[in-house]
């Protein structure tokens, strides 16, 4: 695995551009033995042509057999050790909506839910209330005050919100309150360490106040809290890689992950077309672009093989517009596999393409897909090796040793 | 990556011979997309035939994206962790000309250079003076004495010499004096740690004396010093691998690296033919032969694709003479890639061939080259795995555990 301190030592600057195009959940599985995966089934003439001019291979996000969440999957792509750099969902949700965290903060992801009069949960997502309703309810929660701590609460999307406690001696060693099924009551927050008991008390007090505010509302008359986490303090792309980096993403979580890596977030993007336009608009101002596309994963989680292939085709269609910008290095990969037949993130290695004109070896491959990647020049490699490779192919790494 | 302590624990002796044939900078890149590399372009009937009877694959010298210098590249081939076992140029130059270092020594690489009357460098290599001139000038520097320290200075080649200070409490935490470009004055030696200030004073005093000796000479009227280093204390091949080992190399640096591994240096070799003869002559007396061929790297650094291919063809031509000796294991590899289109060491994995009659699996490959190596039985592997593999295929490794 790449050694981050070695990369940091060797990295230098150059007038080159790197694009990391992440199709979330790209890797797939065939529907029948010997069949094609989603990527292989999709009509991807642009990716296939590019694969023949690039080096392809398979990225192992964490290790064989380990299916990563979005956090570890992206951290590995960004070059961080995904096992050491654990980031809780609370931090992801918070930074994803543009909240800046301090080392004094503990963040949680909140869900609005529905409880009956015995306080048993009847809907863990409160009927998936729309974002406008979420904002309205969050505004009612904002006045809640507790001694010795600043409280920040902001709507995220649908039934989700972010909660931050800011104060001295707070800990994220807390249990979650979502019982993960209906018919059960929300759990109390418990301290996992003695030092976390103050924070647990604050959390339980906040929940009691929130219930009081919400008790007559329908369908969202209660909250659950999970993903307690502190800001992880990752080294930032500017220091670590000497890169001016920008994140082009629609979804809050991926913007959040990028912000933890120190990338500038391009705001206000709603779809793939706007993402490509943003890449063009900001091309001159950054060296590195993290370009995230969500829907391959979403349709994989839905179990919809053909819809996932169709999403991959949409990315294929915008590829010429990316190549027009003449990136020195273009990597196309995923943060993990989300096979439609599995309907969830999986542990399968992820098809990866590295385009770097003039510096790549020949693949004898016909196109971009899981089976062709087995024969590609990149072989199977750790996802954490991608950033050092991107930097090397972008002429941004010095020689190691005399 | 191979665990050296595990190898040390498992290694045993056997009446078998291992040859590690290193073509420096072997790996390459195509000149045009989809084209052949230098090795693929070269006519190598003997290597191609051997590849079909061997296992081939690609060696990763350090990690993906990291281009190694000759030191780390060779240390990895010898099985040492190339990131931990850093060796300065001063040590390499010194041991390369047969100087034996002690733990009390600090060594530097010296260059003769030309300065104008304002002491600004006009030629960092003093017109690349011939070795005879270098010897003559070094003889003038030998009488320089300084208190409390023994001084050893020896010519290396062309404009290069080695300087060793031998004494108590010396440190290699010193800055270099070569400003790396002309028009600037040589820099003073500065201590990077407080404990290095004595050595820095000695170095500056020696330089002042050397300048006094050289001031009326032309073109070499000044010196620069760099690559300050102490002997790294690597475990030696005899202890580590139970191997009687010999190094067959022409260039000082590679002899130096071999001597740090405890190999016996075969002296007085000038070309490939003499190297093969030396292999024959010493065949009975050693178990392991490090056989180094420099010019693939040299022509790669020149950017001369066809000349690099021609050098590879020269090695191909001597291969039957190596095989006549019936080695139990023959490895053909490089310490790194030096693609002619890149004109420098690169990070690309290195084609590797492991020949061990009777113990290798079938490759479906047509010959020896980067693309064929992708399909070879060795796969892509860390260079540090080669020594344990060599030992195992040479029947020199016990089973691990009951």
B138-159 pLDDT per residue, tens:
999 999 999 999 999 999 989 9
d(CA A74, CA A261): 10
Contact A400 B68 (CB under 8 A): yes
- Under 8 Å CB pairs connecting chains A and B tally to 111
Whether the CB of B71 is below 8 Å from some CB of chain A: the reply is yes
Contact A361 B348 (CB under 8 A): yes
Predicted pLDDT at B93: 86
Give pLDDT tens digits for B91-111: 988 987 878 788 899 999 999
Give pLDDT tens digits for B37-62: 999 999 999 999 999 999 999 999 99
Q: Which of A49, A358, A373, A399 to mutate to test the interface with B (most CBs of B within 10 A)?
A: A399
Residue B293, CA atoms < 13 Å, CB-side half-sphere: 28
How distant is the Cα of A302 from the closest Cα of chain B, in angstroms?
A: 35
Q: Which residues of B touch A379 (CB under 8 A)?
A: 58, 374, 379-380
Predicted pLDDT at B104: 92
Contact A385 B65 (CB under 8 A): yes
Contact B63 A402 (CB under 8 A): no
Q: Which residues of B touch A401 (CB under 8 A)?
A: 68-72, 82, 86-87
pLDDT of residue A110 exceeding 70: yes
Predicted pLDDT at B282: 98
Whether the CB of A377 is below 8 Å from some CB of chain B: the reply is yes
| Residues A245 and A264 sit within 8 Å (Cβ to Cβ) | yes
Predicted pLDDT at A1: 57
Contact B380 A375 (CB under 8 A): no
Q: Which residues of A touch B87 (CB under 8 A)?
A: 401-402
In this prediction, residues B160-169 reach a mean pLDDT of 96
Element (H, E) at B83: none
How distant is the Cα of B149 from the closest Cα of chain A, in angstroms?
A: 27
Which candidate from A2, A360, A401 shows the least CB-CB separation from B86?
A: A401
| Residues A57 and A370 sit within 8 Å (Cβ to Cβ) | no
Whether the CB of A9 is below 8 Å from some CB of chain B: the reply is no
Query: If pLDDT is split at 50, 70 and 90, which confidence band does B1 have?
Result: low
How distant is the Cα of B275 from the closest Cα of chain A, in angstroms?
A: 25
| Residues A211 and A205 sit within 8 Å (Cβ to Cβ) | no
Retrieve residue A84's tokens.
Answer: 């050491």
Which candidate from A375, A385, A398 shows the least CB-CB separation from B64?
A: A385
How distant is the Cα of A308 from the closest Cα of chain B, in angstroms?
A: 30
Which candidate from A358, A361, A397 shows the least CB-CB separation from B370?
A: A361
Contact A53 B35 (CB under 8 A): no
pLDDT of residue B312 exceeding 90: yes
Whether the CB of A6 is below 8 Å from some CB of chain B: the reply is yes
Q: How far is CA A141 from CA A138, A221, A222, in A?
A: 5, 12, 11
Query: If pLDDT is split at 50, 70 and 90, which confidence band does B125 have?
Result: very high
Whether the CB of A2 is below 8 Å from some CB of chain B: the reply is yes
How distant is the Cα of B218 from the closest Cα of chain A, in angstroms?
A: 29
d(CA A190, CA A177): 9
Q: pLDDT above 90 covers what percent of chain A?
A: 90
- Report the 3 state secondary structure along chain A: CCCHHHHHHHECCCCCCEEEEEECCEECCCCCCCCCCHHHHCCCHHHHHHHHCCEEEEEECCCCCCCCCHHHHHHHHCCCCCCCCCCCHHHHHHHHCCCCCCCCEEEEEEEEEEECCCCCEEECCHHHCCHHHHHHHHHHHCCCCECCEEEEEEEEECCEEEEEEECCCCCCCECCCCCCCCCCCCCCCCECCHHHHHHHHHHHHHHHHHHHHHCCCCCCCEEEEEEEECCCCCCCHHHHHCCCEEEECCCHHHHHHHHHCCCEECCCCCCHHHHHHHHHHHHHHCCEEEEEECHHHHHHHHCCHHHHHHHHHHHHHHHHHHHCCCCCEEEEECCCECCCCCCCCECCCEEEEEECCCCCCCCCCCCCCHHHHCCCCCEEEEHHHHHHHHHHHCCCECCECC
Q: pLDDT above 70 covers what percent of chain B?
A: 100
In this prediction, residues A324-344 reach a mean pLDDT of 98
Q: Decide: pTM greater than 0.90.
A: no
In this prediction, residues B322-348 reach a mean pLDDT of 98
d(CA A371, CA A57): 9
pLDDT of residue A333 exceeding 60: yes
Give pLDDT tens digits for A26-51: 999 999 999 999 999 999 999 999 99
pLDDT of residue B182 exceeding 90: yes
Whether the CB of B66 is below 8 Å from some CB of chain A: the reply is yes
| Residues A68 and A346 sit within 8 Å (Cβ to Cβ) | no
User: Which range among A99-103, A236-240, A243-247 shows the weakest confidence by mean pLDDT?
Assistant: A99-103
pLDDT of residue B278 exceeding 90: yes
- The ipTM value here is 0.86
Whether the CB of A361 is below 8 Å from some CB of chain B: the reply is yes
Q: Which residues of A touch B301 (CB under 8 A)?
A: none
Predicted pLDDT at B256: 87
pLDDT of residue A355 exceeding 80: yes
| Residues A2 and A385 sit within 8 Å (Cβ to Cβ) | yes
Predicted pLDDT at B87: 86
Predicted pLDDT at B95: 84
In this prediction, residues B230-245 reach a mean pLDDT of 95
Q: What is the dihedral of CA A170, A175, A177, A179, to 10 degrees?
A: 170
Give pLDDT tens digits for B208-225: 999 999 999 999 999 999
In this prediction, residues B77-83 reach a mean pLDDT of 95
Residues 42-61 of B with CB under 8 A from A: 58
Which candidate from B341, B345, B370 shows the least CB-CB separation from A399?
A: B345
The residue with greater pLDDT, A14 or A97, is A14
d(CA B25, CA B8): 29
């Amino acid at each position: 695995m790449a050694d981050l301190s070695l990369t940091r030592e060797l990295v230098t600057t150059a007038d080159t551009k790197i694009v990391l195009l992440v199709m979330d959940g790209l890797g797939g599985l065939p529907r029948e033995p010997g069949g094609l995966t989603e990527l292989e089934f999709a009509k991807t003439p642009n990716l296939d042509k590019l694969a023949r001019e690039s080096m392809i291979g398979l990225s192992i996000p964490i290790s064989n057999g380990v299916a990563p969440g979005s956090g570890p999957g992206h951290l590995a792509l960004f070059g961080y050790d995904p096992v050491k750099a654990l980031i809780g969902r609370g931090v992801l949700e918070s930074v994803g909506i543009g909240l800046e965290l301090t080392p004094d903060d503990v963040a949680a992801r909140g869900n609005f839910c529905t409880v009956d009069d015995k306080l048993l949960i009847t809907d863990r997502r409160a009927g998936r209330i729309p974002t406008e309703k979420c904002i309205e309810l969050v505004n009612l929660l904002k006045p809640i005050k507790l001694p010795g701590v600043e409280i920040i609460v902001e709507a995220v999307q649908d039934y989700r919100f972010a909660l931050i406690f800011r104060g001295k001696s707070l800990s994220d060693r807390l249990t979650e309150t979502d019982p993960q099924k209906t018919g059960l009551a929300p759990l109390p927050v418990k301290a996992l360490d003695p030092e976390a008991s103050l924070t647990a008390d604050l959390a339980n007090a906040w929940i009691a106040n929130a219930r009081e505010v919400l008790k007559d509302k329908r369908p969202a008359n209660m909250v659950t809290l999970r993903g307690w986490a502190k800001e992880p303090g990752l080294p930032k792309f500017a220091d670590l890689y000497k890169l001016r980096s920008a994140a082009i993403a629609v979804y809050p979580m991926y913007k959040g992950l990028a912000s933890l890596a120190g990338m500038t977030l391009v705001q206000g993007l709603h779809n793939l077309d706007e993402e490509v336009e943003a890449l063009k608009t900001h091309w001159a101002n950054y060296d590195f672009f993290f370009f995230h596309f969500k829907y391959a994963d979403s349709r994989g989680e839905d179990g919809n093989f053909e819809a996932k292939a169709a999403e991959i085709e949409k990315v294929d269609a915008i590829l010429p517009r990316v190549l027009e910008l003449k990136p020195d290095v273009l990597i196309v990969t995923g943060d993990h596999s989300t096979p439609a037949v599995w309907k969830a993130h999986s542990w399968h290695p992820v098809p990866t393409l590295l385009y770097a004109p003039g510096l790549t070896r020949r693949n004898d491959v016909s196109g971009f897909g899981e089976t062709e990647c087995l024969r590609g020049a990149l072989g199977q490699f750790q996802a954490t090796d991608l950033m050092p490779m991107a930097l090397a192919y972008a002429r941004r790494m010095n020689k190691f040793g005399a």
